[in-house]
Amino acid sequence: MGNNNINLTLNIWRQESAEAKGDFEKFKVSVSPDASILEMLDELNNKLEKEGKIPIAFESDCREGICGTCGLVVNGHPHGALPKIATCQLHMRNFKDGETLYIEPFRATAFKIIKDLIVDRSGFDEIQQAGGYISFNTGSAPDANAVPIPKEIASLALDAAECIGCGACVAACKNSSAMLFVAAKVSQFALLPQGQPERYERVQAMIAKMDELGFGSCSNTYACEAECPKGISVKNIARMNRDYIVSKVTKETV
């Protein structure tokens, strides 16, 4: 441990399973300010294992803010209080020596706790499978300029496609709504020519699956956009709602 380490008190949520009763467990740590919060948890788990104790279960993969698996709620904020970062990009230098942190899982009816800080986000996979794709025969690779797309439209589609499916929008919403996630996955195709044939079937199918899985309705507080690590705009929700209304009026479904 270096002399420049910061000392923190951690209150970490521990829960054996979805059915078990959970509670916060307190830990004292001394950690480098250059460590990420996941590296801090790694160090803490190494210490717990050496002491013969059960390590804290948490999820992580890329540690580059692109896979979305690392989601934690830190002091009441999904991914922490810094804007437009994933949990894995949150470094300890953003906290003060002697500070107390509360670390807990994303909480939502549709996100069942598996253990400690890990939740089951497979509902997002089911929503994607319901319609988050386009169906056509690809054949050989088309020329890049075969389907002209205005730059503004292409940019909006790419902005929507930046969604990493982490679930922060659900954890931030007081109704545990998945509207921002679904809207992003709908918009990335609805804006492009390739997504038009299944446009209205897609929006109906994905919203139906979202409702079936128990996600709540949009709260219109914009908390989802504020906590999204990629800054996905709530304008996508408005676009999705318009498409949904049109799909019901025109009945352009299979």
User: Any idea what DSSP says for residue 109?
Assistant: T
User: Is residue 208 predicted with pLDDT exceeding 80?
Assistant: yes
User: Quick one: 55 and 172 in the same domain?
Assistant: no
Q: What does the pLDDT look like over 182-192, one tens digit per residue?
A: 999 999 999 99
Closest CA to 159 of 136, 135, 138, 190: 190
Label residue 186 left, alpha or beta by phi (over 0 means left) and psi (-120 to 50 means alpha).
alpha
User: Quick one: 86 and 149 in the same domain?
Assistant: no
Closest CA to 109 of 118, 120, 94, 100: 120
User: Quick one: 171 and 133 in the same domain?
Assistant: yes
Chain length of the chain = 254
For 171-178, what is the mean pLDDT? 97
CA distance 199 to 66: 26
Chain centroid, CA 119 distance in Å: 11
Band (pLDDT 50/70/90 cuts) for residue 251 is: low
CB 225, CB 184: distance < 8 Å: no
CB 132, CB 38: distance < 8 Å: no
**3-state class (DSSP) for residue 250:** helix
Share of the chain above pLDDT 70, in %: 96
pLDDT of residue 3: 67
Closest CA to 180 of 219, 143, 208: 219
User: Quick one: 127 and 242 in the same domain?
Assistant: yes
Asked if residue 212 is part of any domain, the answer here is yes
For 108-115, what is the mean pLDDT? 96
User: Quick one: 49 and 125 in the same domain?
Assistant: no
Band (pLDDT 50/70/90 cuts) for residue 146 is: confident
Asked if residue 1 is part of any domain, the answer here is no
Top pLDDT among 144 and 116 is at: 116
Q: What residues make up the domain containing 201?
A: 121-250
Q: Are β-strands 6-14 and 73-74 bridged in parallel, bridged antiparallel, or unpaired?
A: unpaired
User: Quick one: 143 and 241 in the same domain?
Assistant: yes
CB 237, CB 218: distance < 8 Å: yes
User: Quick one: 68 and 176 in the same domain?
Assistant: no
Share of the chain above pLDDT 90, in %: 89
User: Quick one: 68 and 134 in the same domain?
Assistant: no
Domain count, the chain: 2
CATH number at residue 209: 1.10.1060.10
